[in-house]
Amino acid sequence: MSERLRVHVDPEKCQGHARCKALAPELFELDEYGNAHEAGDGTVPPGLEDKAWLAKANCPEIAIDVTEE
């Protein structure tokens, strides 16, 4: 059984690099300043787990948390 993941962007750390949005457009949204926040409540739909980890690994500001529930 696979765990359910949730993504969260720390708005204090995000500097708008937008790699998260490029790598996992289903999981992140950008505001008018180009800063990211998680789509919806951050729950990662089945099949997108790899994208969640990829986005976390590629954020230069280490602003993305992925938690397992």
Return d(Cα 9, Cα 12) in angstroms, integer: 9
- Residue 1 CB, shortest distance to ligand F3S, in Å, is 29
**How far is Cα of residue 48 from the mean position of the Cα atoms in its chain?**
11
9 close to 28: Cβ distance less than 8 angstroms: yes
Confirm or reject binding of residue 66 to ligand F3S (CB under 6 A): no
Q: Of 15, 31, 50, 57, which one interacts with ligand F3S (CB under 6 A)?
A: 15
Confirm or reject binding of residue 61 to ligand F3S (CB under 6 A): yes
Confirm or reject binding of residue 44 to ligand F3S (CB under 6 A): no
Confirm or reject binding of residue 48 to ligand F3S (CB under 6 A): no
